[in-house]
């Protein structure tokens, strides 16, 4: 039987506890989970590609028993999935708004590569409101973000804001 490889794509700017929940649960569904760190041209990232990749690698180092890999990419998701040999794309859903966007994206991706299935995982109820964009906004205005990110990520964000 072929190895089942899954891809979990995102900007992870920064990686949140919500992302970690999806990573931990998604890793149980596949033999290997590749976290694809990309840049969304519609967003202006707080951290550059290399910083985000290193941050995600640090955060996932202690989970997944070696079946999680972090890879940067700047291409169509279906091209990345194909290059990684993935048959599954894992997407986290927080609510109806996420679902509508992801539903449309999945339809487009199926047109590009019908061999790759998309699996939606609902975020844990306690983590559903967390969004990287909101974490950054709270931090910029001096709010405490430790409920939303790991201590190391909190320190990264606070240090970055201090440099601005």
Q: Which two tokens stand for residue 28?
A: 């149980």
Residue 1, SS3 per DSSP: coil
DSSP code string of 131-163: -HHHHHHHHHTT---TTTS-HHHHHHHHHHHHH
Q: Which two tokens stand for residue 8?
A: 């979990």
Report whether the peptide linkage leading into residue 156 is cis, meaning its omega lies within 30 degrees of zero: no
Burial state string for 3-30 with b = 16 or more CB within 10 A and e = fewer than 16: eebbbbbbbbbbbbbbbbbbbeebbeeb
Q: Which residues does the annotation mark as catalytic?
A: 19, 43, 94, 132
Q: Which two tokens stand for residue 142?
A: 């001096």
Residue 35 near residue 116, CB atoms below 8 Å: no
């Amino acid at each position: 039987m072929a190895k089942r490889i899954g891809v979990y794509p995102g900007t992870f700017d920064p990686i949140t506890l919500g992302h970690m929940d999806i990573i931990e649960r998604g890793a149980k569904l596949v033999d290997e989970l590749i976290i694809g760190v990309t840049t969304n041209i519609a967003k202006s990232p707080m951290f550059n590609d290399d910083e985000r990749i290193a941050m995600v690698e640090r955060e996932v180092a202690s989970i997944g028993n070696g079946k999680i890999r972090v890879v940067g990419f700047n291409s169509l998701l279906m091209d990345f999935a194909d290059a990684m040999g993935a048959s599954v794309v894992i997407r986290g859903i927080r609510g109806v708004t996420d679902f509508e966007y992801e539903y449309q994206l999945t339809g487009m991706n199926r047109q590009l590569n019908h061999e790759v299935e998309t699996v939606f995982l609902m975020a844990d109820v306690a983590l559903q409101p967390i969004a990287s964009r909101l974490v950054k906004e709270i931090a910029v205005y001096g709010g405490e973000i430790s409920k939303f990110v790991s201590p190391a990520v909190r320190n990264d964000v606070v240090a970055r804001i201090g440099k601005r």
